[in-house]
């Protein structure tokens, strides 16, 4: 007997997962509910290709919407990068309730922009968790959880590309657990009584503070490199976008003016940090600057 699934979804995360789930003939996706303000044509095309109902609603907790999706008689609701908060009635509507895939090692790294924060915090691994949805934010019982290494060669782009695939894999494996009746969830409080929550990053958070250590600057820049907004700094009154910096092995630690340009060549330029200096090797800037000029310190 097929497992009947309702899919709440958005973006590349959900695309890769959909392509994996739809190949399993024992899983039926009865509807795709997208974000209300979506511009995601890929999900619409998936729905058309596979004859799946394509829906959107400003309030998924409304009586009207719940009445509409009740007709599908789903066994499980699955959320992948969806942006509305599920309330109790819709959570409990399916036989096996509602699950979510979150690119963070719960109960830590709840919230938003998790891959960025993991790099900023100099983590050596990042986690992906599939959990039951409750009325909190990423607080439901854990169904399946895996961790993946982070090296100094990683940045936001590489983690994002890996997470798309890894999220699809762990979400599919979790759905299979429901199909086979082998789900044994774990309460987050058993891991840590509090955990922590990451706030969504907003405009202005990309401004680089040179009054950090070289390691902190390195982590900050790689955490929001393309396809992120890139780190921003200001020199001679103009904005400079930074996509990559490298740490200098055995760089001397000494006191000087933080944010000063120390050297410049065809491959980039050196900037004094709190403890030593880094080399900026990938950046965008339309004006000119010279050795001795100083970046603004926010």
Quick: pLDDT tens for 117-156: 999 999 999 999 999 999 989 999 999 999 999 999 999 9
| Position 25 confidence tier, pLDDT thresholds 50, 70, 90 | very high
Look at residues 234, 286, 244, 252 and name the one whose alpha carbon lies nearest to residue 268: 244
Residues 185 and 250 in one domain: no
Q: Is the pLDDT of residue 74 over 80?
A: yes
Share of the chain above pLDDT 90, in %: 95
Residue 296 lies in a domain: no
* Domain encompassing residue 222: 214-284
Q: Is the pLDDT of residue 189 over 90?
A: yes
For residue 217, what pLDDT is reported? Answer: 98
- Mean pLDDT for 267-293 is 97
123-128 long-range contacts (CB < 8 A, ≥24 apart) are 123/150, 124/149, 124/150, 125/149, 125/150, 126/150, 126/159, 126/163, 127/103, 128/101, 128/102, 128/103, 128/104, 128/163, 128/166, 128/167, 128/170
Residues 130 and 238 in one domain: no
For residue 175, what pLDDT is reported? Answer: 97
> With the CA atoms of 81, 83, 84 and 85 taken in that order, what torsion angle do they form, in degrees rounded to the nearest 10?
70
| Position 282 confidence tier, pLDDT thresholds 50, 70, 90 | very high
- Mean pLDDT for 192-214 is 95
Residues 138 and 27 in one domain: yes
Coil, strand or helix at 219: helix
Residue 16 lies in a domain: yes
Look at residues 85, 68, 83 and name the one whose alpha carbon lies nearest to residue 6: 68
Residue 90 lies in a domain: yes
Q: How much is the CA Rg of the chain, to the nearest whole Å?
A: 23
Helical ranges in the chain per DSSP H: 11-21, 41-49, 63-70, 88-91, 114-120, 156-180, 214-223
- Indicate the residue among 198, 225, 254 that finishes a domain: 198
| Tokens of residue 134, six digits | 């409750």
Residue 207 lies in a domain: no
Residues 147 and 178 in one domain: yes
Residues 185 and 223 in one domain: no
For residue 38, what pLDDT is reported? Answer: 84
For residue 238, what pLDDT is reported? Answer: 96
Distance CA 149, CA 232 (A): 27
For residue 1, what pLDDT is reported? Answer: 77
| Position 39 confidence tier, pLDDT thresholds 50, 70, 90 | confident
Residue 185 lies in a domain: yes
Residue 209 lies in a domain: no
Share of the chain above pLDDT 70, in %: 100
Q: Is the pLDDT of residue 295 over 80?
A: yes
Q: Is the pLDDT of residue 254 over 90?
A: no
- How many domains in the chain? 2
For residue 182, what pLDDT is reported? Answer: 86
Q: Is the pLDDT of residue 298 over 80?
A: no
Residues 101 and 127 in one domain: yes
Q: How does pLDDT run across 98-125, given as a tens digit for each residue?
A: 999 999 999 999 999 999 999 999 999 9
Residues 39 and 187 in one domain: yes
- Mean pLDDT for 248-264 is 93
- Mean pLDDT for 208-232 is 98
- Do 165 and 171 form a contact (C-beta atoms < 8 A)? no
Average pLDDT over the chain reads 96
Higher per-residue pLDDT: 241 or 39: 241
Higher per-residue pLDDT: 34 or 182: 34
Residue 22 lies in a domain: yes
Distance CA 52, CA 33 (A): 10
- Mean pLDDT for 265-277 is 96
| Tokens of residue 216, six digits | 């902190």
CATH number, residue 229 = 3.10.25.10
- Indicate the residue among 171, 198, 225 that finishes a domain: 198
| 244, β-bridge pairs | 282
CATH number, residue 110 = 3.40.50.170
> With the CA atoms of 103, 104, 110 and 112 taken in that order, what torsion angle do they form, in degrees rounded to the nearest 10?
-40
Distance CA 181, CA 171 (A): 15
Residues 112 and 10 in one domain: yes
Question: 10 Å Cβ neighbour count for 205?
Answer: 14
Distance CA 244, CA 231 (A): 9
Coil, strand or helix at 102: strand
Q: Is the pLDDT of residue 260 over 80?
A: yes
Question: How is 17-57 classified by DSSP, letter by letter?
Answer: HHHHHTT-TTEEEEEEEE-TT---HHHHHHHHHTT-EEE--
Residue 220 lies in a domain: yes
Residues 107 and 243 in one domain: no
Residues 41 and 136 in one domain: yes
Residues 180 and 256 in one domain: no
Residues 230 and 117 in one domain: no
């Amino acid at each position: 007997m097929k497992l009947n699934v309702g899919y709440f979804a958005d973006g590349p995360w959900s695309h890769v997962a959909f392509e994996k789930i739809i190949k399993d003939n024992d899983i039926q996706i009865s509807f795709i509910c997208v974000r209300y303000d979506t511009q995601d044509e890929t999900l619409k095309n998936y729905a058309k290709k596979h004859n799946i109902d394509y829906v959107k609603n400003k309030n998924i907790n409304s009586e009207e919407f719940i009445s509409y999706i009740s007709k599908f008689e789903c066994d499980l609701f699955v959320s992948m990068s969806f942006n509305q908060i599920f309330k109790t009635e819709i959570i409990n509507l399916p036989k096996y309730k509602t699950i979510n895939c979150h690119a963070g090692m719960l109960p830590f790294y709840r919230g938003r922009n998790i891959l960025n924060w993991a790099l900023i915090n100099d983590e050596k691994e990042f986690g992906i968790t599939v959990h039951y949805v409750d009325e909190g934010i990423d607080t439901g019982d854990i169904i399946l959880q895996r961790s993946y290494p982070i090296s100094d060669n990683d940045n936001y782009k590489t983690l994002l590309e890996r997470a798309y695939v890894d999220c699809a894999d762990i979400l599919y494996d979790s759905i299979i657990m429901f199909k086979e009746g082998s789900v044994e969830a774990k309460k987050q409080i058993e891991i840590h009584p509090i955990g922590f929550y990451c706030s969504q990053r907003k405009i202005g958070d990309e401004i680089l503070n040179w009054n950090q250590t070289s390691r902190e600057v390195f982590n900050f820049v790689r955490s929001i490199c393309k396809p992120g907004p890139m780190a921003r700094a200001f020199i001679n009154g103009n904005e400079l976008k930074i996509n990559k910096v490298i740490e200098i092995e055995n760089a001397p630690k000494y006191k000087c003016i933080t944010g000063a340009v120390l050297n410049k060549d065809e491959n980039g330029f050196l900037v004094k940090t709190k403890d030593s200096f880094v080399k900026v090797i990938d950046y965008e800037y339309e004006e000119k600057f010279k050795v001795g000029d100083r970046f603004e310190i926010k």
